[in-house]
Amino acid sequence: MDTSPPASPARRRDRTHYLYLAVIAAVVAGIAFGFAAPATAQELKPVGTGFVNLIKMMISPLIFCTIVLGVGSVRQAAKVGRVGGLALGYFLVMSTVALAIGLAVGNIVHPGTGLHLNDAIAKAGQKAASGAPAESTADFVLGIIPTSLLTSLTSGEVLQTLLVALLVGFAVQAMGTRGEPVLAAVGIIQRLVFKVLAMIMWLAPIGAFGAMSAVVGATGVDALKSLAQIMLGFYVTCAIFVFVVLGLLIRLVSGISLFRLLRYLGREFLLILSTSSSESALPRLIAKMEHVGVSRPVVGITVPTGYSFNLDGTAIYLTMASLFVAQAMDNPLSLGEQISLLGFMIIASKGAAGITGAGLATLAGGLQSHRPDLVDGVGLIVGIDRFMSEARALTNFAGNAVATIVIGTWTGEFDRARARAVLSGEDPFDESTIVDDTHAPAPAPLPAASPTTA
């Protein structure tokens, strides 16, 4: 009777592992096939394109549901007063910093340069871009306004979907408690959207094989060099953000050593590495943040909210991946387009807080809204997404741990003396008081828009 509850989530994680292993195998097979039969491999481009089209199909409903629920969460967060306001302000600033760092490193490293995908496998997208008439600023602004609320979900115009989602979210806020049924209905629809996206992601090995085969067949070893370049650049960027930005922040604000905090959370990092999901360590983070000296109300508000709104690793990934696709297709983003994309990602990255594949959908949505001719390049990211998921999850988790202590310090709800005792090993965490994934959260936590995975 007490063994059935934990069994279900364990089976779900195991099935996801099989998917990840299949994607890795498909990438290796695609690389080998691209070298062995380059001419035939290039003919497999429609396979990767088909998978990208399935992802594009989910962009509008995913963004709509998540933004509407996210605005509802902000409304609830406002009720808890100073802690909620500080948390949301902090998350917004840190997401912007993470996005900016991703753009800065991407412009220094220039991932994707030299692939020249347009020459070999992206001519259709290039034609579509070159054949499009020039658009004035007024036309662009007017184009954001849909002909009706519902057409914003079917037109494929991401900015229209974003506008309508924000309007609906604020309207639900204004309705007060009468808007709760609307949020509940949107929450059910979001679960349906995530379920469909989960089904689509089981086709990721096929899409990865087709995309990788076509790219390697067209560009040879240059593809592998560029993919290695973006992965290395992404890892370095995440390390800079965690050890420099977060390390300085927690030292200056709370007087705590980041390295001691990371060592204290070592078991949670191992758990995240084994599941590629920061969600798996959520119950343990709540327990350990309370043990380290942050008050239960602050933990109960900050941690669940951060799991939907404080996705620093995902923000870095979205910006660097966008630059990679643009440069690989010989259509680099201008400075104005990069800044505009950064603004979009600040909002849309909150939509990446979902099941595996939501990050890809958000990436495709950002490119679709700014440079539709680049969306086909998302197929290349599918092949290496798995190799960057652990770094995303670890960065997200570290960011939320630091955020909890910093906000606890700002609100006077953090016991420094206890923290020093815990982090020095004088007061170790008692593992017997917690069972993985079953630890009860702190009272009255803020409902998150959706579970967070990398």
pLDDT tens per residue, range 400-412? 999 999 999 998 8
Tell me how far the alpha carbon of residue 213 is from its chain's centroid: 26
pLDDT at 420: 92
The CA distance from 419 to 404, in Å, is 13
Domain for residue 445, yes or no? no
Quote the number of domains for the chain. Answer: 1
pTM: 0.67
pLDDT tens per residue, range 306-361? 877 788 888 888 888 888 888 888 788 888 888 887 777 777 665 454 445 566 77
Domain for residue 444, yes or no? no
Domain for residue 163, yes or no? yes
Domain for residue 448, yes or no? no
pLDDT at 358: 62
Structural domain containing residue 248? 4-433
pLDDT at 131: 38
Q: Which residues of the chain have pLDDT under 70?
A: 1-17, 20, 70-82, 114-141, 156-158, 219, 274-277, 279-280, 348-359, 382-383, 386, 431-454
Looking at residue 46, what DSSP letter applies?
Answer: H
Determine how many CB atoms are found less than 10 A away from the CB of residue 115: 27
Domain for residue 143, yes or no? yes
Domain for residue 345, yes or no? yes
pLDDT at 251: 94
Tell me how far the alpha carbon of residue 182 is from its chain's centroid: 25
Report the alpha-carbon angle 345-317-116, nearest 5: 100
pLDDT at 11: 41
Give the pair of three-digit tokens for residue 313.
């690793």
pLDDT at 398: 94
Domain for residue 161, yes or no? yes
Taking alpha carbons only, the member of 91, 436, 89 closest to residue 285 is 436
Taking alpha carbons only, the member of 81, 77, 96, 55 closest to residue 359 is 55
Domain for residue 304, yes or no? yes
CATH at 315: 1.10.3860
